[in-house]
Structure 1
Protein backbone atom coordinates (compact mmCIF):
# COMPACT_ATOMS: atom_id res chain seq x y z
CA UNK A 1 0.00 0.00 0.00
CA UNK A 2 1.33 3.44 -0.89
CA UNK A 3 0.60 6.59 1.11
CA UNK A 4 1.49 9.94 -0.47
CA UNK A 5 3.08 12.11 2.24
CA UNK A 6 3.91 15.07 -0.01
CA UNK A 7 3.35 15.93 -3.65
CA UNK A 8 3.96 19.10 -5.62
CA UNK A 9 3.87 19.88 -9.32
CA UNK A 10 4.49 23.28 -10.88
CA UNK A 11 5.71 24.76 -14.13
CA UNK A 12 9.11 26.39 -13.81
CA UNK A 13 12.17 27.21 -15.85
CA UNK A 14 14.94 24.71 -16.51
CA UNK A 15 17.35 26.83 -14.45
CA UNK A 16 14.92 26.92 -11.48
CA UNK A 17 14.60 23.13 -11.67
CA UNK A 18 18.40 22.78 -11.79
CA UNK A 19 18.73 25.05 -8.73
CA UNK A 20 16.20 22.95 -6.80
CA UNK A 21 17.94 19.69 -7.73
CA UNK A 22 21.31 21.24 -6.83
CA UNK A 23 19.96 22.23 -3.42
CA UNK A 24 18.72 18.69 -2.79
CA UNK A 25 22.05 17.28 -4.02
CA UNK A 26 23.95 19.55 -1.62
CA UNK A 27 21.81 18.33 1.31
CA UNK A 28 22.36 14.69 0.31
CA UNK A 29 26.11 15.24 -0.09
CA UNK A 30 26.44 16.84 3.35
CA UNK A 31 24.19 14.29 5.08
CA UNK A 32 21.68 16.97 6.11
CA UNK A 33 17.95 16.35 6.24
CA UNK A 34 15.97 17.32 3.15
CA UNK A 35 12.85 19.42 3.75
CA UNK A 36 10.28 19.79 0.98
CA UNK A 37 7.51 22.36 1.36
CA UNK A 38 4.72 23.85 -0.72
CA UNK A 39 2.02 26.03 0.82
CA UNK A 40 0.91 24.50 4.10
CA UNK A 41 2.45 21.09 3.34
CA UNK A 42 5.97 20.04 4.24
CA UNK A 43 7.96 16.90 4.92
CA UNK A 44 11.49 16.42 6.25
CA UNK A 45 13.49 13.34 5.29
CA UNK A 46 16.73 11.93 6.67
CA UNK A 47 18.00 10.07 3.60
CA UNK A 48 20.36 7.24 4.59
CA UNK A 49 23.86 7.02 3.13
CA UNK A 50 22.83 3.96 1.10
CA UNK A 51 19.49 3.78 -0.70
CA UNK A 52 17.95 2.70 -4.01
CA UNK A 53 18.06 5.37 -6.73
CA UNK A 54 15.66 4.98 -9.67
CA UNK A 55 15.60 7.03 -12.86
CA UNK A 56 12.63 6.66 -15.18
CA UNK A 57 11.71 8.26 -18.50
CA UNK A 58 8.13 7.74 -19.57
CA UNK A 59 5.80 8.81 -22.35
CA UNK A 60 2.13 9.31 -21.56
CA UNK A 61 -0.03 9.25 -24.67
CA UNK A 62 -3.54 10.68 -24.79
CA UNK A 63 -5.91 11.63 -27.61
CA UNK A 64 -4.53 15.19 -27.67
CA UNK A 65 -0.85 14.20 -27.89
CA UNK A 66 1.87 12.84 -25.69
CA UNK A 67 3.87 14.04 -22.72
CA UNK A 68 7.41 13.00 -21.77
CA UNK A 69 8.49 12.74 -18.16
CA UNK A 70 11.78 12.29 -16.32
CA UNK A 71 11.49 11.04 -12.74
CA UNK A 72 14.12 10.59 -10.04
CA UNK A 73 13.20 8.45 -7.04
CA UNK A 74 15.11 7.54 -3.89
CA UNK A 75 13.79 4.62 -1.84
CA UNK A 76 14.97 3.02 1.39
CA UNK A 77 13.85 1.03 4.37
CA UNK A 78 15.49 0.34 7.70
CA UNK A 79 17.41 -2.69 6.47
CA UNK A 80 17.71 -1.99 2.74
CA UNK A 81 20.48 -0.79 0.48
CA UNK A 82 21.01 -0.10 -3.22
CA UNK A 83 23.47 -2.17 -5.20
CA UNK A 84 23.12 -1.23 -8.90
CA UNK A 85 25.28 1.37 -10.59
CA UNK A 86 23.85 4.20 -12.70
CA UNK A 87 25.77 6.78 -14.73
CA UNK A 88 24.23 10.06 -15.87
CA UNK A 89 26.06 11.78 -18.71
Structure 2
Protein backbone atom coordinates (compact mmCIF):
# COMPACT_ATOMS: atom_id res chain seq x y z
CA UNK A 1 0.00 0.00 0.00
CA UNK A 2 2.88 2.35 0.76
CA UNK A 3 4.26 1.84 -2.75
CA UNK A 4 0.88 2.62 -4.29
CA UNK A 5 1.25 -0.32 -6.66
CA UNK A 6 1.54 -4.09 -6.62
CA UNK A 7 4.93 -5.26 -5.39
CA UNK A 8 6.46 -8.70 -4.96
CA UNK A 9 8.34 -9.53 -1.76
CA UNK A 10 11.55 -11.54 -2.15
CA UNK A 11 10.51 -14.15 0.44
CA UNK A 12 8.35 -14.95 3.47
CA UNK A 13 10.50 -14.81 6.59
CA UNK A 14 7.83 -15.26 9.28
CA UNK A 15 7.06 -18.48 11.15
CA UNK A 16 3.42 -17.80 10.18
CA UNK A 17 3.98 -19.32 6.75
CA UNK A 18 0.30 -20.01 6.03
CA UNK A 19 -0.45 -16.30 6.33
CA UNK A 20 2.33 -15.14 4.05
CA UNK A 21 2.31 -14.42 0.39
CA UNK A 22 4.81 -12.61 -1.73
CA UNK A 23 2.21 -10.69 -3.75
CA UNK A 24 -1.49 -9.90 -3.35
CA UNK A 25 -3.86 -10.23 -6.28
CA UNK A 26 -4.78 -7.21 -8.38
CA UNK A 27 -8.40 -7.58 -7.18
CA UNK A 28 -7.31 -7.53 -3.53
CA UNK A 29 -5.23 -4.41 -4.15
CA UNK A 30 -8.21 -2.77 -5.88
CA UNK A 31 -10.63 -3.63 -3.03
CA UNK A 32 -8.25 -2.31 -0.37
CA UNK A 33 -8.27 1.00 -2.21
CA UNK A 34 -12.10 1.05 -2.26
CA UNK A 35 -12.80 0.04 1.35
CA UNK A 36 -11.53 0.88 4.81
CA UNK A 37 -9.13 -1.87 5.78
CA UNK A 38 -7.10 -1.94 8.97
CA UNK A 39 -4.04 -4.10 8.58
CA UNK A 40 -1.75 -4.83 11.51
CA UNK A 41 1.79 -6.10 11.17
CA UNK A 42 2.85 -8.13 14.21
CA UNK A 43 6.03 -9.89 15.22
CA UNK A 44 6.31 -13.68 15.20
CA UNK A 45 6.27 -13.57 19.01
CA UNK A 46 3.01 -11.58 19.01
CA UNK A 47 1.45 -13.97 16.48
CA UNK A 48 2.37 -17.06 18.55
CA UNK A 49 1.06 -15.44 21.75
CA UNK A 50 -2.18 -14.55 19.95
CA UNK A 51 -2.66 -18.16 18.81
CA UNK A 52 -2.12 -19.37 22.36
CA UNK A 53 -4.54 -16.76 23.76
CA UNK A 54 -7.17 -17.68 21.15
CA UNK A 55 -6.82 -21.37 22.02
CA UNK A 56 -7.21 -20.57 25.73
CA UNK A 57 -10.36 -18.50 25.06
CA UNK A 58 -11.94 -21.14 22.86
CA UNK A 59 -11.04 -24.08 25.09
CA UNK A 60 -12.55 -22.52 28.21
CA UNK A 61 -16.03 -21.62 27.01
CA UNK A 62 -16.21 -23.04 23.53
CA UNK A 63 -16.81 -19.53 22.20
CA UNK A 64 -15.57 -15.98 22.56
CA UNK A 65 -17.08 -13.75 25.26
CA UNK A 66 -20.45 -12.23 24.32
CA UNK A 67 -19.67 -8.92 26.02
CA UNK A 68 -17.58 -7.93 23.01
CA UNK A 69 -20.66 -6.74 21.13
CA UNK A 70 -20.92 -6.71 17.33
CA UNK A 71 -17.31 -7.30 16.34
CA UNK A 72 -16.14 -9.17 13.25
CA UNK A 73 -12.74 -10.80 13.48
CA UNK A 74 -11.18 -12.70 10.61
CA UNK A 75 -8.93 -15.42 11.98
CA UNK A 76 -6.51 -16.55 9.32
CA UNK A 77 -4.08 -19.42 9.57
CA UNK A 78 -3.27 -21.62 12.49
CA UNK A 79 -5.52 -24.40 11.27
CA UNK A 80 -2.59 -26.71 10.67
CA UNK A 81 -0.72 -26.17 13.95
CA UNK A 82 -0.76 -28.59 16.84
CA UNK A 83 -0.17 -27.72 20.49
CA UNK A 84 3.19 -29.48 20.20
CA UNK A 85 4.17 -27.28 17.26
CA UNK A 86 2.98 -24.21 19.15
CA UNK A 87 5.19 -25.16 22.10
CA UNK A 88 8.19 -25.59 19.77
CA UNK A 89 7.55 -22.17 18.21
CA UNK A 90 7.36 -20.57 21.63
CA UNK A 91 10.68 -22.12 22.56
CA UNK A 92 12.25 -21.13 19.23
CA UNK A 93 11.09 -17.53 19.65
CA UNK A 94 12.09 -17.28 23.33
CA UNK A 95 8.54 -16.96 24.64
CA UNK A 96 8.12 -18.08 28.25
**Larger Rg over CA atoms:** 2
TM normalised by structure 1 equals 0.31
Larger % of strand: which? 1
Q: Of the two structures, which has the highest relative contact order with CA contacts closer than 8 Å and spacing of 6 or more?
A: 2
